[in-house]
Amino acid sequence: MADRILVTGGAGFIGRHLAHALLRRGYHVRVLDNLIEQVHGSRPVVGTRDADGEIDLVIGDVRDDAVVGRALRGIDMVVHLAAEVGVGQSMYAVDRYVSVNDHGTAVLFQHLIAAPVRRVVVASSMSIYGEGLYRDAEGRVVAQAARLPRSGAAHGSAWDPLDEQGRPLTPIPTPEWKQPALASVYAISKFVQERLTLTLAPAYGMEGVALRLWNAYGPGQALSNPYTGVLAIFASRLLNGQRPLVFEDGNQRRDFVHVEDVAAAFVLALEHPRAPGGVFNIASGEDRSVRDVAMLLASAMERPNLAPEITGQARAGDVRHCIPDLTLAREVLGYAPRRAFTDGLRELSDWVARQRAAEDRVQQARQELEARGLVA
């Protein structure tokens, strides 16, 4: 009989792609999701049956003891995606982020302690690294680079971290051994999720795995959620005839990974015999500036005249550069990202063009940060 897998947060962007990837591999899939409006809108529509098979949907909160107990009944493995996601919002919605992400994970494991499953895979985040690794002018690796809070041209200093002589550091790929530098409530909460999984799973005879995800993108992202998903936020602005809003000077570098590659990584984490106990970076292996990404998306959506608006402001909790080293995921899991960024952008823009108008809440989100002094 095929294994039964519970995907918490499985009605969300990554969860939907993962659920269908699992169905195609013959698994039985159950999804636990509370369908919050910020992600799913006021009238969520969640399909549970298509050509790939049927999903067992449990609607409820990961913090609800009875709901979690019901969702876990008969389950063999768990993928834990349920979380509030958004660096900026986490800096003022503190109780909500800590409650959902960390208390929710605790409720999940309280049940797993009583009735263990075989393996638990948790979605962690690149945000726990803070600034990634850098190299200085002498070629030495700098593992704990830092910049002054809210630094930037408007404050008379460089956006990039500098060495002790005031020279710019060069970002280099960041491996899993880098010590965390938790710069936001979101990062703190994701690190707690990761450590709870990797501590409690083996203590109770289960296998634990953590995947540190970079910026996932692709069709199906929430276009009206202004707090997470850089490309979805840009796409929503462009769809509404507005310029993408880019903080700092736009030259901060990120890695954007297609959601199907992310789903494939979770399948590997569930199936590979060498995965247990591991922490793995999951990304595309190609980094780009945020400014360039905004311009490429505008071109793909046939709105090249909507150049990004560079704010010259920094948000509390943001990091300058963090790019991934994928060596461990490649060598241990056999992970190999397959989707080219240009093809993925074209697919995303085609999907966006078929959507009804998305509500642009970017200015609202910016005002919420500014009102609390979190943008300067």
CA angle 326, 273, 271 (to 5 degrees): 80
Q: Report d(CA 161, CA 14) in Å as an integer.
A: 32
| Average pLDDT for 327-340 | 97
| Helix H or strand E segment including 5 | strand 4-8
- Percent of the chain clearing pLDDT 90 (strictly above): 71
Domain boundaries along the sequence of the chain: 4-371
Predicted confidence at residue 153, as pLDDT, reads 47
Sign for the CA dihedral angle at 366, 353, 217, 53 comes to positive
Give the pairing type, strands 309-310 and 245-246: parallel
pLDDT: which is higher, 292 or 150? 292
**Block residue for tokens 């190999």:** 336
Mean pLDDT of the chain: 91
For the beta carbon of residue 8, count every other beta carbon within 10 angstroms.
28
Predicted confidence at residue 309, as pLDDT, reads 92
Which CATH code for domain 4-371?
Answer: 3.40.50.720
**Block residue for tokens 């550069």:** 321
Question: For this structure, is 186 an active site residue?
Answer: yes
Axis crossing angle, helix 290-300 with helix 341-353, rounded to the nearest 10: 50
pLDDT tens-digit readout, 62-119 = 999 999 999 999 999 999 999 999 888 899 999 999 999 999 999 999 999 999 999 9
Tell me the range of 38-47, 154-163, 227-236, 237-246 where mean pLDDT is highest: 237-246
Burial of 106 from C-beta contacts in 10 A (0-12 / 13-18 / 19+): middle
pLDDT tens-digit readout, 173-212 = 999 999 999 999 999 999 999 999 999 999 999 999 999 9
pLDDT tens-digit readout, 235-253 = 888 988 899 999 999 999 9
Phi, psi of 147, rounded to the nearest 5 degrees: -130, 160
Read off the DSSP letter of residue 252: -
Given the residues 27, 186, 217, 335, the one annotated as active site: 186
pTM: 0.94
Phi, psi of 5, rounded to the nearest 5 degrees: -120, 130
Burial of 140 from C-beta contacts in 10 A (0-12 / 13-18 / 19+): exposed
Using an 8 Å Cβ cutoff, are 70 and 58 in contact? yes
Predicted confidence at residue 40, as pLDDT, reads 67
pLDDT: which is higher, 362 or 110? 110
Tokens standing for residue 112: 């797993």
Structure confidence at residue 152 as a pLDDT band (50, 70, 90): very low
Q: What are the start-end ranges of the E strands in 34-109?
A: 49-50, 53-59, 77-80
Q: What are the start-end ranges of the E strands in 96-243?
A: 119-125, 134-135, 141-142, 170-171, 207-213, 215-217
